[in-house]
């Protein structure tokens, strides 16, 4: 029996779990848990360890399908999958959600995170949810990956459709397995797994502010937009609110006036006997946090980074 492996990765809601389920001949192993942070606005559950399925191609060949969790706080599972379970994978599929505010940023992020892994493996970029958001289009992706210097194939797919996802597997394996009847495999998958036309419906149930308040040690938060306007806040004290907004302006001013320092993405004011005040920037938004003095700054920074990295467009957060 010839065993091949493919590793699926990508952001939350990009379709990793759905893609593996649409192909697997066995009941897929997935380790979903109720989302407890900003991702709850996009889906009720999020993968916390990995997805796993198996696709039989012939009596002598099969594919093991592994999927990583999307959130950066589960990076340790990325390393475990890349170094252990799927260390000998034939290729990696980067799932990209076209409704994200900057899908090209996701490509840059994952290409960097898995740069060593991709040195010896083929990469395919699979763009999903183009039925919800048509732009960026195919040509935009080709231009973007050319500018990034990434050698890859771009495919627009519906992760719910076994025919579309099977096309990725065929792209990766047909060069080494020439005797597979792909039409026959496709027909079997459609008979067994079907094709659900349920439309992708994001669940905007929790603001970034609500998600921040679920984090350990956070006592209050302010979410600022790209013009440093207050999108939402639960800090009522005017002086504290004003100070935190001024900290955000200060980070921008330092970045502009002292360019040799690079972009200043966060400023933290901490004292032994007072609450910690901090500002974290990410492209066109900022998160200001008032937190307990006992929470460590590395933990606070990681929490803010998680929230901002996976947050969606400001229009949905107001």
Decide the pairing of beta strands 91-97 and 122-128: parallel
- CA separation for the pair 223, 232 (Å, rounded): 5
| CA neighbor of 114 nearest in space, from 147, 139, 136, 82 | 82
Q: Is the sign of the CA dihedral 271, 274, 280, 284 positive or negative? A: negative
Ranges of the chain with pLDDT below 70: 30-49, 70-75, 196-207, 283, 306, 309-318
- CA separation for the pair 256, 269 (Å, rounded): 21
| Per-residue pLDDT, 72 | 62
Give yes or no for a contact between 196 and 159, defined as CB atoms under 8 angstroms apart.
no
| Per-residue pLDDT, 170 | 95
Structure tokens at 193: 């797994």
| Per-residue pLDDT, 315 | 34
| Per-residue pLDDT, 150 | 86
Q: Please name each of the domains of the chain with its CATH number.
A: 2-193 (3.40.50.300), 208-317 (3.30.450.30)
| Per-residue pLDDT, 49 | 66
| Per-residue pLDDT, 217 | 85
| Per-residue pLDDT, 316 | 33
* Residues 139-149 as b or e (16 or more Cβ within 10 Å = b): eebeebbeeee
Q: Which residues pair with 109 in a beta bridge?
A: none
- Phi first, then psi, for residue 180 (nearest 5°) are -90, 130
Residue whose structure tokens are 């989302």: 35
């Amino acid at each position: 029996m010839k065993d091949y492996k493919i590793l699926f990765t990508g952001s939350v809601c990009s379709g990793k779990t759905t893609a593996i389920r649409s192909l697997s001949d066995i009941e897929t192993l997935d380790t979903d848990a109720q989302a407890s942070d900003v991702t709850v606005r996009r889906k009720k559950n999020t993968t916390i360890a990995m997805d796993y399925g198996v696709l039989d191609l012939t009596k002598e060949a099969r594919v093991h399908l592994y999927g990583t969790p999307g959130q950066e706080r589960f990076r340790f599972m990325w390393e475990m999958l890349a170094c252990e379970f799927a260390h000998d994978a034939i290729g990696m599929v980067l799932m990209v959600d076209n409704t994200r505010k900057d899908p090209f940023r996701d490509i840059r992020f994952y290409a960097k995170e898995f740069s060593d892994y991709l040195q010896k493996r083929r990469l395919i970029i699979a763009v999903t949810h183009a039925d919800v958001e048509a732009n960026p289009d195919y040509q935009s992706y080709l231009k973007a990956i050319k500018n990034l210097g990434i050698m890859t194939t771009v495919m627009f797919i519906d992760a719910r459709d076994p025919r579309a996802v099977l096309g990725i597997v065929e792209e990766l394996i047909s060069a080494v397995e020439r005797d597979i009847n792909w039409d026959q495999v496709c027909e079997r998958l459609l008979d067994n797994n079907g094709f659900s036309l349920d439309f992708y419906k994001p669940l905007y149930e929790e603001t970034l502010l609500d998600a921040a308040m679920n984090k350990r040690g956070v006592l209050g938060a302010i979410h600022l937009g790209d013009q440093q306007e207050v999108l939402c806040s639960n800090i009522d004290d005017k002086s504290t609110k004003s100070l935190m907004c001024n900290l955000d302006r200060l980070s921008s001013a330092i970045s502009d006036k002292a360019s040799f320092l690079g972009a200043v993405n966060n400023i933290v004011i901490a004292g032994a006997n007072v609450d910690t005040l901090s500002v974290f920037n990410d492209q066109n938004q900022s998160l200001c946090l008032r937190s307990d003095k006992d929470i460590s700054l590395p933990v606070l920074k990681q929490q803010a980074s998680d929230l901002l990295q996976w947050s969606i467009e400001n229009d949905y957060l107001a």
